[in-house]
Every structure is written in structure tokens, then in C-alpha cells.
Structure 1
Amino acid sequence: MHPWKRGRKTKQVFHCSFSDIKGKGKKNLPQRKKPETAAKQAPAQPAAKGKTDDLWKKGVTWVNSPVGKAAAACAATILFLGTVALVTVYVLNYKKHAQVLAAQQKVRDFANTYYPKWNSMNDYGKFAMVVNLSDYFVNLTMLNEELQLEIDDVRQKLNSGWRVFRWNIYLFSDDKVSWPVAVNRCQEVNTHLASITTQEEELYIDTEARNKRHNFWIGVKKNPKKPHGVEWISGVDTKVTYWDRSTGQPDAETGEDCILISNVCPLLSCWHDYPCFLQTKYVCKKSPDPKFMGHMP
């Protein structure tokens, strides 16, 4: 074959092969999208706006529904009540603050009037002094209440036959009991079996026993460990004894540990020791509380 023809034929064959390869390559490789096509396939912005409009329409529809109207009314009520509560709290706090300021001013005025030297103090010092003074008045009020109870008790006892001697009142009983029972009888009426602290008191009880013509238990008992060998159940120290020496009192007989006032004896010498189980009358004594009396004459 002619060389030229052979080359032409070869060229034609090569051209056909290249086209086939090129066609296959385009089929297998991923194709690049053109800018215009990509722009057409991008999500459109108006779609999101459409969703917002749909939500707004649904909200309006819900608000106009019976349930929405009821919820709106409830919310409005809660808001109104909350506003009223806040205003009320504010007004109350304002009034309370005003009252505190007024009270503080009254304290200052009282302090300056009651004790002019407090004028030189600051508010803290004045308030402290007024608080102390207030505590004093409170204690005084409580003391007055106790004093009133004490007065009522004494008045009742005087109406029941108790006798008065100096600052004390006495009950000379009509019933006869043993010495321990006599102690309990006096304690039941908030008193004690009579203790004797002065010669005048001893003379008074001796005289009453003689006039009533009867013996009376008193609140003293033998105790060898105590001064003068006796002790008062009231806790008063024994300074003087008033034994009936004319009859040899106190005698040495055992079992005679309790003491009574005899109605047959020299005055100021009427103590007799007797067995505690002996039944006789007794003397109860009530003394005023020292906190009410101060220094008694």
C-alpha cells in the first residue's frame, strides 16, 4: 500500500480511538456543575420566611381560639395580682420604715428629757441607756406583779385567822398533829413551822400559848452537831435558846427530839422537848420576802 494512504488510514484510526477514549472518560469522571446550574439548585430564601409566616398565623389562630383567650386572661390576671402585691409590699415597707424612724426619734427625745447628760451621747449610746432602763422597768413590773400576789396571799390568810406581829403573820392551829405532820401542814400553805429570831418574837408566841392554854409545836429540832444542840428547819441560825430550866429542860430522855412551846412556864423560858409523834397544836409563820422589804427596821 502506498505510504501516504497508510499514514492517512492510521491517522483516521487514531482519531477514532481518541474519540472513543474521550467519550468514555467523560462518562466516568464527575462532571463539574456550571455556576448557573448550581445557583438554580440552591435553597431559596423565601422558604424560611414562609415558615415564619406560618408560625405567626398559627399563633394568631391559637390566641383567637377559646383556649388561647382563656390563657391570655389568666396571664393578665396573674400580672395584675403580681403588680398589686409588689405595690402592697412597697407601701408596707415604706410605712414600717417611717415607723422605725419615728420610734428612734421618740427614743432620742425621751433620753434627752429623762437624763439631760445623755445629750452628749451619740444615738447608739442613748439607745443602750434606754434599753437598760427599759429592762429595769420590766423587772420592776414583774416585781410588782409578784408583790401583788404576795399581798393577795397575806390578805387571804388574815381573813382565815392568821395573826400579825411586826413584819410576820402567824397561824396558831386548832387541830392537833405530830411534829412531822405540822411541818407538812405549814408547807402546804407556803409557810414554815415557826422559827424564832428575836426575844420579842419568843415573848409573843409564849404569851399566845399561855392565853390559848395549849402547847404548840415550833420549827426547831434537836441536833447535837449544831450550835446549842438544836437547829431551825427554816435554815435560820440558832443564836439563843429558851429552855424551861425550872423543869430541867432539855431533859436527858431519849426519843424526845422535837420542841414545843408550853403554856405553863415562865415567859421567855417555855421550850420543852417531847417525842415527835406526840400530837399537839402548832404555829405556822410567814415572813415577807426580803426583796419586797429592803432593810426592815
Structure 2
Amino acid sequence: MSSRAYASSRSNASSRSNVASRSNVASRSNVASRSNVASRSHPGSRSTFAARRETSRQQRTFWYHLQELISPDIYIYLALMMSLALFFAAAGMTALYHHEANKTAILNSAAERIKTFTIAKEPSVKGKNDTEILAKTQKLADELAVWTLKTIQLEAAIEDISRKLHLGWVLHKETLYLFDELLKTWEESRQFCEEGHATLVCINSREEEVFLENEIRTSHEDFWIGLIFKGDWTWVDGSKYEHKFWKFNWPVANGNCTVLKAFCHAEAECWENIECNSLRRSLCKMKPNAHWYIENP
């Protein structure tokens, strides 16, 4: 090859190299330019990315420090506490099971004893099914409840009678009488007796009249009885006016209220009628109460 041809070849190669170099420079310039344009068009992208990186770094730092603070012994302690909790829970459930089992056994034993008692009390239910025996048991329980109530009422009546006897009431033929010595009008005497759950005495037989006459024979004052005139002679308890034990030629037009005379020597002739505002003693009567007795239910 001639020197001119060689020189011409080198010149062409140099020219191509320069073109390629300028092309690469232009390409990098264009990339940088686009990058700058993109950066200018999204100014917050860099700061957002940096904030995320910082947050991630802080979280890693927090967990790292937390793991440093928590000693491995704490994990052992927590595991032990959980084991103890499970143990006590299991123990509690076991105890509850045994308690319920014992309670069931007690109930079954009680039911068996009740069944045996019912059969002994009512042999007719022997061999019957449990439903029939239970019905008979319920009937016996109802009867027992009635008897229990009657017993309570009787005890209360006995206590009331004992208290009244201590206060001076007199018992005669299952009836209580009080011969109160304070002087009162007829109306005051009536109220006094009713406050004691009694009435002014209403005399229903000759035998009762004679008993009362004997009780007050040595008294210094007459006693009001529960007979009053309101168009007709009437007993305060509503009983019929059948038995009459007036003094001879009485009653007279002296008053509407009745007294049983003291120092009366004519048997069964000791009533007088006088003014109701006169002052006399009170004679109270308490009739037998249903609670005083126990009868078959």
C-alpha cells in the first residue's frame, strides 16, 4: 500500500472515531438531560424515598434495642407463668368436676332415701314407677307443710294464751275472760276489749252467766257487758238475744247499756240497764280461736 493510501485510511478511521465519540457524548448528555428533567418534574420523589429509608432504619434500630433490653430469662419466665396458669386451670376444672360428681351422688342418695321413706309411709306405691312415687312424695310433702303451718299457729296461740293468763285473764270452758278493774264508760270498755282482740262479754248460756256472777260476787263495782239497746237489745258480737238474766222487773227506762251487778244473790237475775256514760269496770271475753286447735288437714 502507498503512503498516501495509508494516510487516507488513518484519516478516515480518525474521523469515524471522532464521530462515535461525539455521538456517545451526545447520548450521555441526553440521558443526563432527561434525568434532570425528570428530577425537576418530580421534586418530591427523592425526599419520599429518603424518608422511607429513614423509617426503615429507625424500625430496625428499635427492634434491635428491644431485643437487647429483653433478656432470654424473660422468655423463660413467661413460659413458666403460662405453664402455671394452664396447671391451675386444669386443677380447677378437675376440682369442679369432682364437686359436681359429689353433688350428683348426694342428690341421688337423697332421692333414694325419700323413695324408701315414701314406700314405708305408703306401701301401696311399692313396685310403682318413679313418676308415681314422686307424685305420692309431693302429696306427703304438701301435707307436711300444712301440719307445719298449723303447728306454728298453735305455738303462737299457746304463747298468746300464756301471756294473757300472766296478765290476769281467766280461762273457763276454752274461753278467756278479763275482769279489768279500771272504771270506764260503756264505749271506752268496748274499745278497751277490742284492742285486746276480745269483746265486751256476750253471755250465751245460763252456765256462763252463773260462772261470771260467782267471779264478781265479792267485787266492789259492777261490770259492763256487751248488751246495748238500739231500738232492740243487741249483743256487740252480733249473737242472738236469746238468754235474758235481768233483775226482777228489769229492764227499766234508765238507760241503754247493761251491767252485771256485783253482790248479786239472785242467781241468773243480775242484769241492770243504766246510762252508757256511767263509769263501771270492764268484762272482756275472748272466744276460742281456730289456731288454738290442731285438726286433721
Distance apart, 1:280 and its partner CA: 0.7
The CA distance in 1 between the partners of 2:240 and 2:269, in whole Å, is 16
Q: Secondary structure at the match of 2:242?
A: coil
Which residue of structure 1 lines up, in the alignment, with residue 47 of structure 2? none
The CA distance in 2 between the partners of 1:62 and 1:148, in whole Å, is 79
1:127 aligns with 2:134: yes
Amino acid at match of 1:259: T
- The change in CA–CA distance for 1:267 and 1:294 in structure 2 (over 3 A counts) is farther
Distance apart, 1:201 and its partner CA: 0.9
- The one-character-per-residue Cα deviations of 1:1-47 (angstroms, maximum 9, x if unpaired) are xxxxxxxxxxxxxxxxxxxxxxxxxxxxxxxxxxxxxxxxxxxxxxx
Distance apart, 1:86 and its partner CA: 0.9
Are 1:216 and 1:281, in contact at CA under 8 Å, matched by a contact in 2?
Answer: yes
Gaps of 5+ in 1: 1-57
Q: Secondary structure at the match of 1:266?
A: coil
- The one-character-per-residue Cα deviations of 1:113-147 (angstroms, maximum 9, x if unpaired) are 11111114321222222222223223322322322
Distance apart, 1:265 and its partner CA: 6.8
Which residue of structure 1 lines up, in the alignment, with residue 284 of structure 2? 284
Are 1:242 and 1:270, in contact at CA under 8 Å, matched by a contact in 2?
Answer: no
Distance apart, 1:64 and its partner CA: 5.9
Which residue of structure 2 lines up, in the alignment, with residue 267 of structure 1? 267
- The one-character-per-residue Cα deviations of 1:48-76 (angstroms, maximum 9, x if unpaired) are xxxxxxxxxx9x99996354344333322
Match of 1:136 among 129, 132, 143: 143
- The one-character-per-residue Cα deviations of 1:69-110 (angstroms, maximum 9, x if unpaired) are 443333223212211221111111101111111111111111
Are 2:157 and 2:291, in contact at CA under 8 Å, matched by a contact in 1?
Answer: no
1:167 aligns with 2:174: yes
> Which aligned pairs between 1:1-297 and structure 2 lie closer than 5 A?
65-224=72-231, 229-233=233-237, 235=238, 237-244=239-246, 246-249=248-251, 251-252=252-253, 256-263=255-262, 264=264, 266-293=266-293
- The one-character-per-residue Cα deviations of 1:226-260 (angstroms, maximum 9, x if unpaired) are xx531323x4x2241425252430x345xx33322
Runs of 4+ in 1 over 4 A off after TM superposition: 60-64
Are 2:154 and 2:294, in contact at CA under 8 Å, matched by a contact in 1?
Answer: no
Amino acid at match of 2:235: E
The CA distance in 1 between the partners of 2:216 and 2:209, in whole Å, is 11
Answer 1 or 2: higher relative contact order, Cα 8 Å, separation at least 6: 2
Amino acid at match of 2:246: D
The CA distance in 2 between the partners of 1:207 and 1:88, in whole Å, is 77
- The change in CA–CA distance for 1:219 and 1:81 in structure 2 (over 3 A counts) is farther
TM-score (ref. length: structure 1): 0.67
Amino acid at match of 2:234: V
Q: Secondary structure at the match of 1:134?
A: helix
TM-score (ref. length: structure 2): 0.67
Amino acid at match of 1:126: I
The CA distance in 1 between the partners of 2:128 and 2:229, in whole Å, is 62
Q: Secondary structure at the match of 2:188?
A: helix
- The change in CA–CA distance for 1:163 and 1:217 in structure 2 (over 3 A counts) is same
Identity %: 21
The CA distance in 2 between the partners of 1:202 and 1:84, in whole Å, is 82
The CA distance in 2 between the partners of 1:118 and 1:129, in whole Å, is 8
- The change in CA–CA distance for 1:77 and 1:219 in structure 2 (over 3 A counts) is farther
The CA distance in 1 between the partners of 2:127 and 2:241, in whole Å, is 55
- The change in CA–CA distance for 1:67 and 1:205 in structure 2 (over 3 A counts) is same
- The one-character-per-residue Cα deviations of 1:201-221 (angstroms, maximum 9, x if unpaired) are 122113323332431112333
Are 2:151 and 2:294, in contact at CA under 8 Å, matched by a contact in 1?
Answer: no
Q: Secondary structure at the match of 2:217?
A: helix
Amino acid at match of 1:176: L
Amino acid at match of 2:222: N
